[in-house]
């Protein structure tokens, strides 16, 4: 494993990338990395993440309490949001929060990224839901995000930005890039008259590829109980991703499926 100093340098490098890519303005955004169950490195609050050096990086415990911080630096005001992700996802070793323009535009318009428009986005992300608005720095955002953590590796934050997480810092950052690329392409294709979506069977084949590759993380391809029985996914994403399944949350999708099945049975019994 890289030394703590090396990881601090990597956080600075990723900070530079999110700033230089225009994914954050001024002092926005934050990044954290898990060292072990009780120690985490995180960016400090209120500094430009594009101009950090390793001395800026703070160390906190699993409650977000400071273990080490150089004079003048305090952990990110959003540390509670990061900690909620780690608490619920033992497979996650890094969390990135940014305000990439197109993804945040969708989050402001209240439109989740659910249309299957390109194989890479379908395989890497599936859908990207929007967690309801919460006041920054309070428990409201962690509470809003929590219900999506078992099903996704990327969440839009309503009227705010995006949150991505993965097994490594680079992968968490790459998820942020993928979310923004997907949102940008969705925006462009809408300007060009609306995207031609991938079909339900095309999406299902991509989901199958993802499962065969054994890709890490959480993804709609792995949600459906039918998958475990080898049947096609019943998740709305498997059925074209264009419903508002992700926005509604996974348990609602399961409920919808149940209601649909019961309705079908009743109609059959009524001979309709
Ligand atoms: P911090 O500088 O406190 O991490 O906050 C930046 C931000 O983007 C809040 O959402």
pTM above 0.75, yes or no: yes
Confidence of residue 241 (pLDDT cuts 50, 70, 90): very low
List, by residue number, the catalytic residues.
Answer: 78
Which string of DSSP letters, residue by residue, matches 1-58? ---HHHHHHHHHHHHHHHHHTTSS-TT--EEEEEEETTEEEEPBTTS-TTS--GGG-E
Query: Residue 196 C-alpha to ligand 1 middle, in angstroms?
Result: 37
Q: What tens digit of pLDDT does each residue of 37-80 get?
A: 999 999 999 999 999 999 999 999 999 999 999 999 999 999 99
Query: Residue 245 C-alpha to ligand 1 middle, in angstroms?
Result: 29
Question: Which residue in this structure is represented by tokens 């950090």?
Answer: 52
Confidence of residue 246 (pLDDT cuts 50, 70, 90): very low
Whether 97 and 85 have beta carbons less than 8 Å apart is answered as no
Kindly state the percentage of the chain with pLDDT values over 90.
Answer: 74
Is residue 29 in contact with ligand 1, taking CB distance under 6 Å? yes
Q: What tens digit of pLDDT does each residue of 151-173 get?
A: 899 999 999 999 999 999 999 99
| Ligand 1, pocket-test mutation among 14, 26, 29, most atoms within 8 A of CB | 29
């Amino acid at each position: 494993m890289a030394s703590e100093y090396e990881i601090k340098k990597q956080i600075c490098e990723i900070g530079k990338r999110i700033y230089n890519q225009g994914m954050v303005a001024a002092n926005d955004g934050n990044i954290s990395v898990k060292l072990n169950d009780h120690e985490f490195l995180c960016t400090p609050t209120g500094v430009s993440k594009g101009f950090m050096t390793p001395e800026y990086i703070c160390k906190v415990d699993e409650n977000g309490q400071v273990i080490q911080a150089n004079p003048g630096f305090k952990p990110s005001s959003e540390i509670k949001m990061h900690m909620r992700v780690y608490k619920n996802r033992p497979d996650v070793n890094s969390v990135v929060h940014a305000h990439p323009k197109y993804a945040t535009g969708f989050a402001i318009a209240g439109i989740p990224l659910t249309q299957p428009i390109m194989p890479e986005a379908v395989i890497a992300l599936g859908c990207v839901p929007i967690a309801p608005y919460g006041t920054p720095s309070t428990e409201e955002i962690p509470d809003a995000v929590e219900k999506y953590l078992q099903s996704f590796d990327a969440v839009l934050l309503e009227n705010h930005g995006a949150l991505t997480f993965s097994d490594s810092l680079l992968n968490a950052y790459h998820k942020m890039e993928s979310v923004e690329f997907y949102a940008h392409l969705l925006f462009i294709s809408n300007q060009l008259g609306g995207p031609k979506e991938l079909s339900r069977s095309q999406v299902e084949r991509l989901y199958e590829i993802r499962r065969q590759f054994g890709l890490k993380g959480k993804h709609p391809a792995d949600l459906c109980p039918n998958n475990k029985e080898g049947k096609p996914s019943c998740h709305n994403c498997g059925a074209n991703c264009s419903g508002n399944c992700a926005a509604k949350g996974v348990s609602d999708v399961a409920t919808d499926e149940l209601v649909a099945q019961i309705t079908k049975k009743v109609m059959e019994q009524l001979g309709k």
